[in-house]
Amino acid sequence: MAASRKEEMHEMIERLDRELEEWVESRPKRKPDKDAWTPDNWEEEMKKHPAFCSEPPEDVDNAEKYPAWAALQAIKYDEGDTPEEKALQFKDEGNHYFKMKLYKKATIAYTLGLQQKCEKPEVNAILLTNRAAAHFHLGNNRTSLSDVTKAKELKPDHVKALNRGALCCMELKQFANAVTWCDELLRLTPEDKNIQQLRAKADKLKRSQEKDRRKAQAQEKKQKAQHNRLLQAIKSRGIQLQMPDNADSSDEDDVAESMDRLQLASLEASFPSTGAKVYLDENGCLVWPVMFMYPEYMETDFIQEFHEESRLADHLDAMFGSQRAPWDVEGKYKPDSIEVYFEETSKSKLHKVTLETTLKDILSDSRYRVLAGTPSFILLPKACRFTEEYLRKAADVAVS
Amino acid sequence: MGDQQQLEELLPFLSPSSRPDVRATAVQYLLGVTASKNSAEFFLKNKVFIEKILSLTEDTQESIAKDSYLCLINLTGDGRFCKVLLEDYDPVPKFVQTVVDPESEFSDSACMILSNVTREESGAERVLDSLVKGDVGLAKVVEVFCQEGYNKKEKQLHYIGPMLSNLTQLSEARQFVLDHDRCVIQRLLPFTQYQGSVIRRGGIVGALKNCCFETVHHEWLLSDDVDILPFLMLPLAGPEEFAEDEMEKLPDELQYLGEDKQREEEPNIRQMLLETLLQLCATKHGRKTLRDKHVYYILRELDNWETQPALKEAAQNVIHVLISDEPEDVDNLNEVQIPVGVQKQLEQPQGEEQQ
- What residue segments make up the domains of chain B, in order of their start? 168-355
> Which residue in A178, A177, A180, A182 sits closest to A196, CA to CA?
A182
Residue type, B318: V
The pLDDT profile of chain A, 400 residues, written as one tens digit per residue, is 556 788 888 888 888 898 888 888 888 776 666 667 777 777 777 777 766 666 666 676 666 666 666 666 666 666 667 888 899 999 999 999 999 999 999 999 999 999 998 889 999 999 999 999 999 999 999 999 999 999 999 999 999 999 999 999 999 999 999 999 999 999 899 889 999 999 999 999 999 999 999 999 989 998 888 888 888 888 888 888 876 554 444 443 334 444 455 455 556 555 555 567 888 888 889 999 998 999 888 888 888 889 999 998 888 888 888 888 888 888 888 888 888 999 887 777 888 888 888 999 988 888 888 887 888 899 988 888 888 888 888 887 766 5
Residues of B in contact with A217 (CB under 8 A): 256, 258
Say if residue A375 is exposed, middle or buried (CB neighbours under 10 Å; 0-12, 13-18, 19+).
Answer: buried
A186, A203, A218 member nearest B258 (Cβ): A218
The nearest CA of chain B is from the CA of A340 a distance in Å of 45
| C-alpha dihedral (B28, B29, B32, B36), degrees to nearest 10 | -150
Distance of alpha carbon A316 from alpha carbon A338, whole angstroms: 8
For B140, nearest residue in chain A (alpha carbons): A187
**The pLDDT of residue B143:** 92
Q: Specify if A144 maps to a domain.
A: no
To which H or E segment does residue A292 belong?
strand A286-294
Q: Is the Cβ pair A211, B255 closer than 8 Å?
A: yes
For A195, nearest residue in chain B (alpha carbons): B183
**Residue A287 CB neighbours (<10 A):** 19
B182, B225, B252 member nearest A190 (Cβ): B182
**The pLDDT of residue B230:** 96
Mean of the pLDDT values across residues B132-137? 90
Query: For chain B, what percent of residues have pLDDT higher than 70?
Result: 91
Q: Specify if A322 maps to a domain.
A: yes
Q: Is the Cβ pair A211, B186 closer than 8 Å?
A: no
For A176, nearest residue in chain B (alpha carbons): B190
Strand A299-307 versus strand A338-344 pairing type: unpaired
Residues 209-238 of B with CB under 8 A from A: 224-225, 227, 230
Boundaries of domain holding A352: 258-397
Q: Specify if A360 maps to a domain.
A: yes
The nearest CA of chain A is from the CA of B231 a distance in Å of 11
Q: Is the Cβ pair A190, B258 closer than 8 Å?
A: no
Q: Is the Cβ pair A210, B146 closer than 8 Å?
A: no
Query: What confidence category does residue B340 fall into, taking pLDDT thresholds of 50, 70 and 90?
Result: low
Q: Best mutation site among B183, B188, B189, B248 for testing chain A: the one with the most A CBs within 10 Å? A: B183
Q: Specify if A345 maps to a domain.
A: yes
Which of the listed CATH numbers 3.30.519, 1.10.155, 1.25.10, 1.10.150 matches domain B168-355? 1.25.10
Residues of B in contact with A207 (CB under 8 A): 230, 252-253
Phi (first) and psi of residue A251, to 5 degrees: -75, 115
Whether the per-residue pLDDT at B123 is higher than 80: the answer is yes
Query: What confidence category does residue B86 fall into, taking pLDDT thresholds of 50, 70 and 90?
Result: very high
Instruction: Report the helix count and the strand count for chain B, using DSSP H and E.
Output: 22, 0
Domain containing A296 — which CATH number? Answer: 3.10.20.90
For B187, nearest residue in chain A (alpha carbons): A183
Q: Is the Cβ pair B146, A183 closer than 8 Å?
A: yes
Q: Best mutation site among B193, B224, B256, B293 for testing chain A: the one with the most A CBs within 10 Å? A: B256
For A197, nearest residue in chain B (alpha carbons): B225
Given a contact cutoff of 8 angstroms between Cβ atoms, the answer to whether A88 and A77 are in contact is: no
Distance of alpha carbon A104 from alpha carbon A143, whole angstroms: 13
Distance of alpha carbon B170 from alpha carbon B125, whole angstroms: 7
Q: Specify if A284 maps to a domain.
A: yes
Say if residue B218 is exposed, middle or buried (CB neighbours under 10 Å; 0-12, 13-18, 19+).
Answer: buried
CA of residue B171 relative to chain centroid, distance: 16
Mean of the pLDDT values across residues B58-83? 95
Whether the per-residue pLDDT at B321 is higher than 80: the answer is yes
Residues 162-201 of B with CB under 8 A from A: 181-183, 186-187
Average pLDDT, whole number, for chain B? 91
> pLDDT higher for B85 or A69?
B85
DSSP sequence for B207-266: HHHHHTT-GGGHHHHHSTTT--HHHHHGGG--SPPPPHHHHTTS-GGGSS--TT------
* Per-residue pLDDT tens digits for B266-298: 999 999 999 999 999 999 999 999 999 999 999
Domain count for chain A: 1
Q: Specify if A20 maps to a domain.
A: no
Distance of alpha carbon B305 from alpha carbon B302, whole angstroms: 5
Q: Which residues of A319-334 are buried (b: 16+ CB within 10 A; e: fewer)?
A: bbeeeeeeebeeebbe
Residues 253-282 of B with CB under 8 A from A: 253, 255-258
Q: Specify if A208 maps to a domain.
A: no
**The pLDDT of residue A109:** 94
**The pLDDT of residue A243:** 64
Residues of A in contact with B230 (CB under 8 A): 207
> pLDDT higher for B45 or A383?
B45
**The pLDDT of residue B330:** 56
3-state helix, strand, coil in chain B (%, to 5): 65, 0, 35
ipTM of the shown complex? 0.80
Q: Best mutation site among B147, B186, B240, B250 for testing chain A: the one with the most A CBs within 10 Å? A: B186
Whether the per-residue pLDDT at B116 is higher than 80: the answer is yes
Residue type, B266: E
B139, B225, B256 member nearest A215 (Cβ): B256
